[in-house]
Structure 1
């Protein structure tokens, strides 16, 4: 099976969407599925306002069509609601080709935090975008339920995984006062980092990541250590150096970093919101509380072994199989309703 994923989020961006797509594709190879990508690398890009380091593609209708035709996919999946996602959606709609989508980012909250645009307007646009999809993939049951409540149709689950070969415990000494409280992610207003950095905690606060708010936060919190963006082994070492992973965001749909921390034997302190609640639930691997300071301090008492055991149940192979299964199920349903569709040379689901 050949699956083409259209995505506006791609390297050199460092975020959960890019890691999810690349790890899923690598795992899918193991059971004979070829996942290729339609990304900004094929187009001219421009920087986003207030996010100059995040660049978006300017795709042409003709080039999108040519690249998809050349890929000759059996299935098309649209991962993001950006220019490439909209262009791939338009291609499929013009040709009456079914496609699937996934919901990764809570744009209504992000956009409303920067511009005077009501969240309800953004949700309406997202419903329209995903409304033509044969299946909308959501990372957690709570997110899937929320999307259904908001009027999204055909919502299915696509869980996430973690690379335990990269993220695992090891002896690391940062040379800073302990305990180490770590946060990893984009340094931007929607990540709510000030809720972490304002806390009165012992030891050292470490922030791994980059973004438009970094300079201002470094100036405001000189006692914290800001490392900038890290990847691969350097990122894994940063996780292993921590005693508690602090996740102050209230808007993430999942929080892949939570699994990466747990696989490193590091417990989680977070607010009791969608994302942390879905990943951790009632498992004894973190503390979810509206009092984030108390959550941080109580997390110091959690067993690293419990964190490792929990993370072991989340693999990228299982994630990739769920992704492919969703697509195969949609394809089978469409073929059952209209057998001639399955013989269409550009059939996708």
Structure 2
């Protein structure tokens, strides 16, 4: 199978979209498939990677958006269609399509190739957070246009599926996210790291991991900063960091971490709190759970599927999140129940490997390829191409 991937973000930028694309590429390599990635170029002072596992990376120019400078935006150019035409994919994978992915959707139509759109970023929600209600409405119109050009849209949670369908997006199916349970494991807990964060060694360590941007609402951790028995740790970077350092006095800000450093940070927490309500999935919650750390999250979006209330963590109402947070943290951090919550957190990701999720994804690829190619018939258990005179014009979809 030949897979053309058009990604809104890719290395050297690290985020949920990039992480998913990397795992998909690794699976495609193991299974002997071919792939190409079209993605935004690196920004100033960043080093681009020319390929990944031998798969070619085709770059387009990148622009910056005010206030959202941690999210790269690729400029759609003729490169998108030209690169895909030369590669001749069997299917086009649109990773969180919006700007560059929109060009990928149009290229798929032009090249007569089926497309699968993976919904990963709540752009409309971000716009709402940045007080741009009109932009949010336009964002949904554009999202609907892009995804209804695809043969299939894959969403990471039941809440995301409901939201997409309520906005008129068709053919939505579920595809979650895997987690690397060998990298993220309770065994990476580091007492040395905990002492760096809390020299007294007497506090419970509560942390957040993610991009420090307005839509993440990290300021909601403020009530915990007032608790003398809690040491706050914030892992990540972004435009909101200076304001958060003022709002969360005494918190440790580590900057962005990756690999084993990130895994040690997760495992060294006693509680992980995710504060933003615009997550279509929230991979950070899964990574915390794999690390044996109970979680608190908003009762919105992806966390609803990941957190089993009272079993591996707690869900809090968005409108009263800050008011509920101190009591919720106290309940989880109680030494009488914390060990059991840690164990159930780890157990909750036992069946969520990337290998299983990527096998499912390739199954979706195969499904749309078979459904799209109307010039193939099945005779005696074998697919047989129709001769030219008998071929049926392909329907262009909704």
- How does the TM-score come out when normalised to structure 2? 0.81
State the shift of 1:322 in Å: 1.5
State the match for 1:318 in structure 2: 356
Q: C-alpha displacement at 1:343, in angstroms?
A: 6.0
Mapped to 2, the partners of 1:7 and 1:255 lie a distance apart of 18
CA contact (8 A) 2:5 2:93 kept: yes
* 97-106 or 291-300, which deviates more: 291-300
Corresponding residue to 1:295 among 323, 328, 338: 328
**Equivalences for residues 163-182 of structure 1 within 5 A:** 163-169=180-186, 170-173=188-191, 174-175=194-195, 176=198, 177-182=202-207
Structure 2 gaps, min length 5: 42-58, 318-323, 378-382, 387-393
- Measured after TM superposition, the shift of residue 165 of structure 1 is 1.5
Secondary structure at 2:4 match in 1: strand
- Please show how residues 142-221 of structure 1 align to structure 2 within 5 Å: 142-169=159-186, 170-173=188-191, 174-175=194-195, 176=198, 177-199=202-224, 200-201=226-227, 202-221=229-248
- Deviation per residue, 1:128-177 (Å, 9 max, x gap): 12111100010122321221122110101111110012111133132115
Q: Cα distance, 1:231 vs. partner? A: 0.6
- Structure 2 distance, partners of 1:196, 1:28, is 40
Cα deviation 1:167-207 (Å, max 9, x = unaligned): 11133132115211010011011101111233344320111
Conserved? CA contact 2:9–2:39, under 8 Å: yes
- The structural deviation recorded for 1:120 is 2.9
Correspondent of 1:58 among 54, 75, 93 = 75
Q: 1:271 to 1:24 in 2, by over 3 A?
A: same
Q: Which residue of 2 aligns with 1:105?
A: 121
Return the offset for 1:218: 0.8
Cα deviation digits, residues 78-121 of structure 1 (max 9, x gap): 11334321222221222333211111111111012225333333
Q: Report the Cα distance in structure 2 between the residues aligned to 1:24 and 1:65, rounded to whole angstroms.
A: 22
Bigger Rg, which one: 2
Higher RCO, 1 vs 2 (CA within 8 Å, ≥6 residues apart)? 1
Distance 1:35 1:297, change over 3 A: farther
Q: How many equivalent pairs are there?
A: 344
d(CA) in 1 for partners of 2:142, 2:327: 39
Residue 25 of structure 1 and its aligned partner are, at CA, apart by: 2.1
Deviation at 1:65, TM superposition (A): 2.4
Give structure 1 regions of 4+ aligned residues with deviation exceeding 4 angstroms.
340-344
Residue 283 of structure 1: how far off its partner (Å): 7.3
8 Å Cα contact 1:180-1:206 kept in structure 2 = yes
SS in 2 for 1:311: coil
Q: Secondary structure at the match of 2:208?
A: strand
Q: Which blocks of at least 5 consecutive residues in structure 1 are unaligned? A: none
Distance 1:267 1:85, change over 3 A: same
Counterpart selection for 2:376 from 335, 339, 344: 339
What is the root-mean-square deviation in Å for CA atoms of aligned residues? Answer: 2.3
Tell me the secondary structure at the aligned position of residue 51 of structure 1.
coil
Q: Which residue is equivalent to 2:281?
A: 254
